Amino acid sequence: MNWFSLFLDPNTQWILMGSMLLGLSSGVIGSFAYLRKQSLMGDALSHAALPGVCLAYMLTGTKSIFFFLIGAIIAGILATAAIGYITRNSRIKQDSALGIILTVFFGVGIVLLTQIQHSNSGNQSGLDKFLFGHAASMVKLDVYTIAGISAVLVVLCFLFFKEFKLLSFDPGFAKGIGLPTILLDQFMMLLIVTAVVIGIQAVGVVLMAALLITPAVAARYWTEKLHVMVILAGLFGAFSGFVGTVVSSMVNNLPTGPLIVLSATVLFIISVLAAPNRGVLAKTRLRVSAKSEYQPLTNQRVKEKSL
């Protein structure tokens, strides 16, 4: 009865749908970020989105995902431009530049967030929930927005699949055949920023990077083909959103966002252990099998030498 009544609740249905769509789009776009070894970029962009969200609220006075999206995209573009400038014009490596931009933008966001909370409309803003997520605050309009943007992200990833594939595995060849690699790189960063923005209400700024990368890493253990990995990552992300929302709805005082990330982590652990070729159990079986085949040959050689 608990499960039946749970799925009949309209509010839970909206949250469930929004979380699953968010996990789907995050897993798909996160696959390319993971393959390009830019996992920290997702973390940096998610933290850099906070000042953009705060400025959008301060300028408009409304808590709208549309305006938050515009502010976070501007902040994300500034962050990626700053990272690229520091990397190209100094001896600082990309990981250090990511750390610098992440902390600076997040610090600015916390300052702006504090100012908003102490303003006249601070009690109504609820922007502090965007740090760790507050999926229960999603309404029908939010879910429609997340659904539309998630669909656009997934469609764009499949339309530019060949270009993203070349950019991920051989950017030199992609540039050699005339692809605008710099433009494609910025376009991919824009997709990541967009995925971050639509996810901060459910998962939060701090944990959004985990939802981008964890399903992709888990999917990588199950296949050697990119298109299968992207599909699996999307399914893993959607399943994590489903499980996290259901558990949060059935147990009181458990936040949805962290439970979604924990669900993705459980899938990752299962993948590490049970994946057919790359998992720990498969490698252990292969090692034991090789050792059992090698031992009789060793014993035979010892007998031949003794004779």
Q: What is the pLDDT of residues 56-88, one digit of tens each?
A: 888 887 777 778 778 888 888 888 888 888 888
Tokens of 288: 């034991």
Structural domain count, the chain: 1
- Domain limits at 180? 2-208
pLDDT of residue 125: 53
Mean predicted confidence (pLDDT) in 222-239: 92
Is residue 84 domain-resident? Answer: yes
Mean predicted confidence (pLDDT) in 237-258: 83
Closest to 221 (Cα-Cα) out of 286, 166, 170, 282? 282
Is residue 180 domain-resident? Answer: yes
> Lowest-confidence range among 45-54, 133-142, 145-154, 264-273?
133-142
Is residue 214 domain-resident? Answer: no
pLDDT of residue 126: 60
Mean predicted confidence (pLDDT) in 111-119: 82
**How buried is 292 (Cβ within 10 angstroms: 0-12 exposed, 13-18 middle, 19+ buried)?**
exposed
Is residue 27 domain-resident? Answer: yes
The CB density around residue 121, as the number of other CB atoms within 10 Å, is 13
Question: Coil, strand or helix: which one is 203?
Answer: coil
pLDDT for 192 beyond 80: yes
Mean predicted confidence (pLDDT) in 248-253: 76
Mean predicted confidence (pLDDT) in 243-271: 86
Is residue 53 domain-resident? Answer: yes
pLDDT for 303 beyond 80: no
Is residue 261 domain-resident? Answer: no
Is residue 188 domain-resident? Answer: yes
Closest to 112 (Cα-Cα) out of 192, 149, 58, 161? 58
pLDDT of residue 2: 55
pLDDT for 95 beyond 60: yes
Mean predicted confidence (pLDDT) in 147-165: 89
Tokens 């998992």 sit on residue: 279
Of the spans 14-18, 55-59, 195-199, which averages the highest pLDDT? 55-59
The Cα-based distances of 186 to 73, 181, 205, 307 in angstroms read 11, 9, 21, 71
Is residue 287 domain-resident? Answer: no
User: Model-level pTM?
Assistant: 0.82
Of the spans 98-102, 190-194, 268-272, which averages the highest pLDDT? 268-272
Distance CA 239, CA 256 (A): 13
Q: Which residues, other chains included, contact 134 with Cβ-Cβ below 8 Å and sequence gap of 6+?
A: 126, 201, 202, 204, 255, 256, 257
**How buried is 72 (Cβ within 10 angstroms: 0-12 exposed, 13-18 middle, 19+ buried)?**
buried
pLDDT for 1 beyond 70: no
Mean predicted confidence (pLDDT) in 251-278: 86
- Report the mean per-residue pLDDT for the chain: 81
Distance CA 61, CA 71 (A): 13
Q: Which residues, other chains included, contact 259 with Cβ-Cβ below 8 Å and sequence gap of 6+?
A: 243, 244, 245, 247, 248
Distance CA 9, CA 79 (A): 40
Backbone angles phi, psi at 10, to 5 degrees: -60, -40
Mean predicted confidence (pLDDT) in 9-15: 73
Tokens of 52: 């953009």
**How buried is 19 (Cβ within 10 angstroms: 0-12 exposed, 13-18 middle, 19+ buried)?**
buried
Q: What is the CATH number of the domain that holds 12?
A: 1.10.3470.10
